[in-house]
Amino acid sequence: MIGIYYGSSTGNTEAAANDIAAALGVDAANIHNVSDTDASTVADYDTLLLGSSTWGAGDLQDDWYDFLDNLKAQDLSGKKIGLFGCGDSDGYADTFCGALVQIYDALQDTGATFVGAYEPEGYQVTDSELNRDGKFLGLALDAADEENNPERIAKWVELVK
């Protein structure tokens, strides 16, 4: 079963979480705003899709800081984790969707398997810290290139099913 967890300040990441849920057929009860969700709920899921907007120079959305600390304390071994996020490649090319990097780095040694690495082809920026071994760590939704986001979501959900 898939659980979608997101942190959103302006509504863009929440909208992305809902679009991803619709594409995967995930019920609304399995979409969680990290601002009001206990991290222990991840025990209910085999796959976790984690979404954050990026602020400043690659910072997490505010609600993620406490949730991520609590998430690291959970047993994530054997779980699949897919990352998605919103960023702006025009103003922040070097740290484009850097919040995903922070989540990845924090959870890398938890026993979870990361899924959904995404080809950077078609993006305006391909050399941000999000790019590891030629692929983005997850789905990067770009405010500067919004018209491509629905297609990107459709491709990414095939990688995380």
Q: How far apart are CA 95 and CA 43, in angstroms?
A: 31
The CATH number given to whatever domain includes residue 70 is 3.40.50.360
What is residue 146's predicted lDDT score, i.e. its pLDDT? 86
What is residue 124's predicted lDDT score, i.e. its pLDDT? 85
Query: Count of domains in the chain?
Result: 1
What is residue 119's predicted lDDT score, i.e. its pLDDT? 93
Q: What is the pLDDT of residues 83-118, one digit of tens each?
A: 999 998 887 888 899 999 999 999 999 999 999 999
Domain residues for 63?
2-160
Q: Is the pTM here over 0.85, yes or no?
A: yes
Q: What is the pLDDT of residues 9-19, one digit of tens each?
A: 999 999 999 99
Average pLDDT over residues 57-74: 96
